[in-house]
């Protein structure tokens, strides 16, 4: 399960494009944050995705994103051109393909690596869906089934919702919008696959009565709506509310519906209140990584921040990171702590593993844990934000003078120091919650 929110233009307080997504996965699946360089590829080369091998393109762009440890793709991420993409599991009337194909996380990474803007990234994903289909396990266990996918795709000038069914798809542009794990595009789609209407007619999903309503035609009958009810309501409230800010996006990702704390773990499996934007519904699904991006209209003029969080965002910190710098190694590590992945004091060096302990400790008594966590993170968040503004200004000045290397050094040092401060604080909070 996953939830995304996007806003642009009059939908945000300053007219910027804002993108936010929680990645919800089963259990405690590690999900590090990795960075991949731009690259040129020989003619005729291929790329091995999670389950299938496809033709490679001549050039792939620099990208970074949250990637489940076992898979090739991204749950959510950004590229050097200021494009952000996130995917969501969906199920339609069309059956899942029996043969392996691309999974949604593969499609996110491929869209980022190959799309210079949101519309191009959308076309990349749509073409790949039509060509290769969607299939194969989307979980660490190969025996588990996959799912079809929907996507939020945005850049500094536009935002799109793309929903798929088998090898067909529909998309619409939005100023404010969001997705969860159910089809939501109605008859207001702007572009679609050529076979969308024909396929619906052939399968008996549509009778040519008016313009095709994508959700009405393709949504799976009997799909358990309790999984998405409260989350969809929270997203609709955010869309209908005041212009959005980065802070509002973070708070939306931390939301627990009508609860101020995570819903009690003993709630019934079919209780809609059990499933919130910030997900604590083990073993069904738990939020494992979060991302907020403020997307630039033009890249290269000044650094633009992406805020990331590990494990449930309600217990952690959103730390700013930049493509125009070298990410700290601890962000990209998700391996289970071993002798090779701990510091001299025997502590895990993986940011994901350090941060995931906090929601486990907090769950014992969240009422007690909440003020401890709030107090522990508040001052650090304020300090990091002030330092972020200063560093971005210095890096922008260096870029204006064409001192690119200086800008990279500034951003790299800031990320290293910031992540170190986050991990130090997280360890101290873990000790207090013991």
Q: Give me the active site residues, please.
A: 2
Alpha helices in 219-365 (DSSP H): 229-240, 246-253, 351-362
Contacts of residue 47, defined as CB under 8 A and 6 or more positions apart, other chains included, come to 41, 53, 54, 55, 56
- Torsion from C-alpha of 138, 139, 141, 142, nearest 10 degrees: 10
Question: Tokens 């210095």 map to which residue?
Answer: 394
Instruction: Report residue 230 as tokens.
Output: 């409260």
Of the candidates 211, 202, 4, 191, which has an alpha carbon nearest to the alpha carbon of residue 93? 202
Q: Are 104 and 51 in contact (CB under 8 A)?
A: no
Q: Which residues pair with 199 in a beta bridge?
A: none
27: left (phi over 0), alpha (psi -120 to 50) or beta: left
Instruction: Report residue 78 as tokens.
Output: 């950004």
DSSP secondary structure letters along 63-91: EEEE--TT-SS-SEEEETTS-EEEEEEE-
Neighbours of 197 (CB within 10 A): 17
Whole-angstrom distance, CA of residue 34 vs CA of residue 136: 23
The separation between the first and the last C-alpha atoms of the chain, rounded to the nearest angstrom, is 30
Of the candidates 285, 259, 204, 391, which has an alpha carbon nearest to the alpha carbon of residue 22? 285
Rg (CA), the chain: 21
Q: Are 65 and 385 in contact (CB under 8 A)?
A: no
SS3 assignment, position 286: strand
Over the range 163-174, which residues count as b (16 or more CB within 10 Å of their CB) and which as e? bbbbbbbbbbbb
Q: Are 88 and 147 in contact (CB under 8 A)?
A: no
Whole-angstrom distance, CA of residue 256 vs CA of residue 253: 9
Q: Are 142 and 94 in contact (CB under 8 A)?
A: no
């Amino acid at each position: 399960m996953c939830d995304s929110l996007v806003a642009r233009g009059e939908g945000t307080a300053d007219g910027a494009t804002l993108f936010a997504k929680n990645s919800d996965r089963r259990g405690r699946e590690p999900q590090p944050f990795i960075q991949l360089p731009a690259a040129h590829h020989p003619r005729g080369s291929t790329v091995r995705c999670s389950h299938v091998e496809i033709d490679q393109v001549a050039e792939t762009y620099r990208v970074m994103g949250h990637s489940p440890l076992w898979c090739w793709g991204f749950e959510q991420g950004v590229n050097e051109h200021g494009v952000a993409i996130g995917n969501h599991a969906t199920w339609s009337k069309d059956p899942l393909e029996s043969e392996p194909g691309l999974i949604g996380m593969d499609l996110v990474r491929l869209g980022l690596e190959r799309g210079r803007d949101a519309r191009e990234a959308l076309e990349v994903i749509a073409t790949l869906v039509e060509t290769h289909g969607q299939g194969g396990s989307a979980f660490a266990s190969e025996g588990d089934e996959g799912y079809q996918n929907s996507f939020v795709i945005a850049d500094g000038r536009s935002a799109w919702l793309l929903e798929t069914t088998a090898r067909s798809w529909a998309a619409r542009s939005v100023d404010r919008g969001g997705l969860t794990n159910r089809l939501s595009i109605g008859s207001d789609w702007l572009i679609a696959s050529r076979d969308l209407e024909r396929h619906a007619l052939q399968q008996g999903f549509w009778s040519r009565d008016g313009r095709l309503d994508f959700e009405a035609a393709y949504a799976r009958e009997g799909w358990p709506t309790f999984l998405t009810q409260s989350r969809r309501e929270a997203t609709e409230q955010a869309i209908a509310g005041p212009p959005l800010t980065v802070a509002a996006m973070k708070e939306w990702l931390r939301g627990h519906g009508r609860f101020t704390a995570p819903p009690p773990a003993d709630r019934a499996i079919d209780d809609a209140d059990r499933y919130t934007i910030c997900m604590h519904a083990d073993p069904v699904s738990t939020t494992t990584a979060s991302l907020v991006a403020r997307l630039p209209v033009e890249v290269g003029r000044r650094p633009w921040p992406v805020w990331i969080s590990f494990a449930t965002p309600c217990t952690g910190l959103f730390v700013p990171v930049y493509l125009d710098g070298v990410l700290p190694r601890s962000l990209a590590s998700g391996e289970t702590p071993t002798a090779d992945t701990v510091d001299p004091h025997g502590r895990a060096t993986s940011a994901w593993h350090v941060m995931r302990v906090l929601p486990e400790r907090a769950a014992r008594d969240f009422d007690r844990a909440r003020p401890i966590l709030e107090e522990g993170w508040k001052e650090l968040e304020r300090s990091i934000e002030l330092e972020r503004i200063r560093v971005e200004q210095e890096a922008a000045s260096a870029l204006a003078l064409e001192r690119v290397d200086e800008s990279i050094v500034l951003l790299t040092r800031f990320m290293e120091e910031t992540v170190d401060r986050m991990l130090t604080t997280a360890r101290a909070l873990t000790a207090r919650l013991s």
